[in-house]
Amino acid sequence: MRILVTGGAGFIGSHLIDRLMAEGHEVLCLDNFYTGHKRNILKWLDNPYFELIRHDITEPIRLEADQIYHLACPASPIHYQFNPVKTVKTNVMGTLNMLGLAKRVKARFLLASTSEVYGDPEVHPQTEEYRGSVNPIGIRSCYDEGKRIAETLAFDYHRQNDVDIRVARIFNTYGPRMLENDGRVVSNLIVQALKGIPLTVYGDGSQTRSFCYVSDLVEGLMRLMNGDYIGPVNLGNQDEYTISQLATEVQKLINPHAEVKYEPLPQDDPRRRRPDITKARQLLGWEPKVPLQEGLQLTVADFQSRIQSSVQPSPLS
């Protein structure tokens, strides 16, 4: 099968490509390298069944594909808030371009949406029927509302043009290949602990998140793409941790004596976040397998290797 992955050089996209290539598919990776990195897909560059296309999805493109995994969009607050207008354009114009492509070539289209469509939720845990509590003019709205309109576009293309869509709402995901500077809580705490600087906890640390290891998420995305359920469907880990608990787990793994410093809670930061994954269990036969402690060990090892290699002296020095 010929499969297009937008944002394929990114954190989640590159892990997805690893699975697709291992299963013998022909894979096209589309990325503008705003947050993606060539090192994530380096091992596939000489493979005849892999093609890398440097392209910004806000511009149209013509190619052939049987399936489209649409993951392209900066997903961490630091990156999507750096250029919020660009984030909106990626979610709206980029999604329009990819849906138009899916319509033309009759490809199945999977939208990587987000738990951020629920905003700061008033319902807990969050079911797919919950419509969310989102600030449309806040600093996070370029991403939150951008993904909400991306979902709207997907369903409108499905109803109006009979495009075969799938919609996944992805909850906090972590694992190897996360960016050091992405501002996400897992990478923040790990990098700070490894560099011997105080661990930053926002607010009083009582806000909660649910952390899904990347291999579990990729399995869920592929089951959704290849199943009969359109969605939206929540993909995430149902185990809920406070940010303080996460900081403690990172301390245990890296430095039990690491200092914790508390900073003001960012604007519109959700107080609680946990998916109801009943639909994923029933309709996809999917649920996460990797416990937090095991996933954190693998993630810490990846960050350690990258940080150590970045400080190695040059052979010419």
Catalytic residue among 80, 118, 143, 157: 143
Distance CA 277, CA 45 (A): 36
Distance CA 123, CA 126 (A): 6
Write the secondary structure of the chain as one string of H (helix), E (strand) and C (coil). Answer: CEEEEECCCCHHHHHHHHHHHHCCCEEEEEECCCCCCHHHHHHHCCCCCEEEEECCCCCCCCCCCCEEEECCCCCCHHHHHHCHHHHHHHHHHHHHHHHHHHHHHCCEEEEEEEHHHHECCCCCCECCCCCCECCCCCCCHHHHHHHHHHHHHHHHHHHHHCCCEEEEEECCEECCCCCCCCCCHHHHHHHHHHCCCCEEEECCCCCEECCEEHHHHHHHHHHHHHCCCCCCEEECCCCCEEHHHHHHHHHHHHCCCCCEEEECCCCCCCCCCCECCHHHHHHHCCCCCCCHHHHHHHHHHHHHHHHHHHCCCCCCC
143 is catalytic: yes
Tokens, residue 204 = 């009083």
What's the maximum distance between 2 C-alpha atoms anywhere in the chain? Answer: 62
User: What sign does the dihedral 13-15-19-22 (CA atoms) show?
Assistant: positive
The residues annotated as belonging to the active site are 143
